[in-house]
Structure 1
């Protein structure tokens, strides 16, 4: 285990969602930082990949993608 994180940057061509009935689920997921309830084009993002050993001794990786949505 190197213990080193990897950080990347990019641009998402399009962030969108389906019909209106989907929006409440996206809003709920957003409270846990799971889903994105907003839309946009050419949205910059950062992704951080962090390896670690969990409390059960398992090697795992966390992937965190953060979007820079306007507003």
Structure 2
């Protein structure tokens, strides 16, 4: 199991037009490989929480059962 290899996991989220698709694909692969169910979303400091990050967080939870933690400054 992947989650047994490391105690902390993070997912880099880009801000380009395909960022949601790539990030969700990564989360899906983690789910398929019995990865962690809780990750920190790492992103550029100027990325707003509303929009991409919020949508990704909601989709990760409702579709995959993965809690994506988003830090707000």
TM-score over 0.5 (shorter chain): no
TM-score (norm. length: structure 2)? 0.28
**Higher normalized helix content (fraction of residues):** 2
Choose between structure 1 and 2: higher strand proportion: 1
Larger Rg: 1
State TM-score, norm by structure 1: 0.29
